[in-house]
Amino acid sequence: MAALLVQQPSAIADFYDEEEIQQRYYPEAEQVVQALTGGDCKLVCVRGQNQI
């Protein structure tokens, strides 16, 4: 297993707003993973939840 840390701006205004995180942050994270790996399938594990 490997990890890669990247600096990426986010459109999130409030990281305490769970709805905003689910609607904006998770899709942003998926786009970053897809762009870095070139993969068709993405699995982003953040904050103890899996988003496919």
User: What's residue 44's pLDDT?
Assistant: 65
- pLDDT bracket for residue 14 (50, 70, 90): very high
**Full-model pTM:** 0.67
pLDDT digits (tens, 9 = 90+) for 18-52: 899 889 988 898 888 888 888 877 666 665 554 55
Beta bridge partners of 44: 51
Cβ neighbours, 10 Å, residue 33: 16
Q: Hey, how many other C-beta atoms are within 10 angstroms of the C-beta on 28? A: 16
Query: Above 80 in pLDDT, residue 12?
Result: yes
DSSP code, position 19: H
Distances in whole angstroms, Cα of residue 42 to Cα of each of 26, 32, 50: 11, 10, 10
Q: Tell me the three state secondary structure of residue 45.
A: strand
Q: What is the mean pLDDT of the chain?
A: 80
